[in-house]
Amino acid sequence: MEVRTGDETLDKTIKQWLEWDKYEPTRQEVCNLLKEKNVPELKKRFGTRIAFGTAGLRARMEAGTARINDLIIIQTAQGILTHLLAVNKDCKNSGVAIGYDHRHNSRRYAELSAAIMVRAGLPVYLFSHTSPTPFVPYIIRQKHLAAGIMVTPSHNPKGDNGYKVYWGNGAQIIPPVDKGISAAILSNLEPWEHSWDTSIIAESPLVTDPYQQVFTSYMEEITKRMCHHGNINAATKLKFTYTAMHGVGTLAFQALFKKFGFQDLILVKEQVEEDPNFTTVKNPNPEEGKSALNLSFKTADENGSRVILANDPDADRLAVAERQGDGSWKVFNGNELGTLLGWWILQCYKKKNESWNDVHMFASAVSSKMLNSMAQKDGFKFEETLTGHKWMGNRIDALMQEGKKSLFAFEEAIGFMCCELVLDKDGVSAGAIVAELATVLATENKSLVNKLDELYQDYGYHFCSNSYYICHSPETTGAIFERIRTLENGSYPSQISGVKVTGIRDLTTGHDSNQPDNKAILPTSRSSHMITFSFENGCVATLRTSGTEPKIKYYSEICGDLSKSDKSSMQEKLRTFVSTLVQELLQPDVHGLIPKAD
């Protein structure tokens, strides 16, 4: 096949690709683009290489070095194996776990990865069935494995796939592991002799199917640790509706729900079955709120159900909605659920332990500080981490090695880690725990909303306003943040709309005006942008780029005493201020940013 795009570097990359790629569908994609002389598309596919980082990989499933496909998976697995052999001499005894979701090609990507590991002599625990993401970090800790891989793009659109990597502590990788793997990938781009051959999986004694054992053990251990009111659960009249959002959560969620003692779980029948095309939803992300839960509302209304529990497609996130007295639905955001779960898990711990002064809870830097307010009053320890459960999971593991107990960790993107068995977000266990909380509250004639209001009275009202803009140009995104850093005489702004800035933390550059030496305490990274502003009016706002999507996200919070001010006035104060802040700093109209769809 003649390769002639007019770009010598691009031609060389495409020729190399065609030499290495043995998967006919993706080879044909490239050949078609060459025949059509579609140089712009070829540049999109081959002009850059997909970067491996702490989030692993996530991209569209298409041919090209900038996409996810068989060849990219092979190169990545070869890199992970090479790095693992270099840093863990025991990995041929301990082995790795590999799971996958229901997306197109997920099982194939898992098997390609497994075959490469097995040929190198590593035991591989390859799940025989699609599984929730939390099963992989769970088995790593349970069996003391060297690493784990989960093939999933989580809640991304249907054409995407992804590749999450966990290390031997059961947490997602953080630096410098990601850098070591990335370097090993680039040093092993050419597929090894047998890397395309997956036949060894069926015949090798090194391959074990852990699915049933993990499924059973997970249900038993989570229930033993986190279910405290099985009798009340069994007797409740409260009805729960569940959706897996066409993903992998149904079997596991049903099983844990039953294990907690609950009798009936109403399923959104149109979304129960695994469907990689996500037929009934435009965006399979329950974090989007009401727009993703329309069928759940319909099913719940038809069945007299008061609480909706929704997992994202790989079941590591949880959304919750509660029907109000007027028939409307309240969809809780991640900060509200984090408040409720944190309070509940602490109460359950208090009933069985005399002291909780040395137990820890966590929230990411862009999440509500409500747990911090609770910690100051109740006496436990609160820590803030960088965004992502990878940071919380690794920190919790470090504390466990010191003999310290961690109860709970969350981030506002509806991700909750409710016990130390899974050092990552887990939408299955979080859902069962929320159901038990709602059930116990119902015996007191209270709802989840009632309890949340009580907590605001006890710890102060924390109101958050978060959203995002889509920006498909990395150059534009970079220019926006550089403008912010030099907005006022070559430095950060000292005020926004007349409101004085009292603190600035930039985790891209490492600047933190809140520290005596102006150096940030939290880890910094120049590969992404993240700036937090504190203001004289009590507001805190963070602007950051997403690590997995072309989004500029903004997060804001205001805290206040409800005895001195009411909710509506604080909400209006924050919304008005944030609207001005976004316009002044991001300039959405100037840069053609696309707002979040309602």
The residues that are catalytic are 154
Across 75-183, the runs of DSSP E, i.e. the strands, are 96-100, 124-126, 147-151, 160-167
The answer to whether 119 and 200 have CB atoms below 8 angstroms apart is: yes
How far apart, in Å, do the first and last CA atoms of the chain sit?
A: 47
Which residues have C-beta within 8 Å of that of residue 284, sequence separation ≥ 6? 155, 157, 158, 245, 246, 247, 278, 292, 312, 313
Q: How many CA atoms lie within 13 A of 431 on its CB side?
A: 34
**Structure-token match 């790795």, residue found:** 96
Cβ atoms within 10 Å, residue 49 = 15
SS3 label, residue 236 = coil
The answer to whether 371 and 145 have CB atoms below 8 angstroms apart is: no
DSSP 153-186: -TTS-TTEEEEEEEETTSSB--TTHHHHHHHHHH
Record the tokens describing residue 141, joined without a space.
């800790």
Long-range (24+ apart) CB contacts under 8 A made by 493-501 are: 493/584, 493/585, 496/533, 496/535, 496/577, 496/580, 496/581, 496/584, 496/585, 497/577, 497/580, 497/581, 497/584, 499/535, 499/536, 499/537, 499/539, 499/577, 500/535, 500/536, 501/533, 501/534, 501/535, 501/536
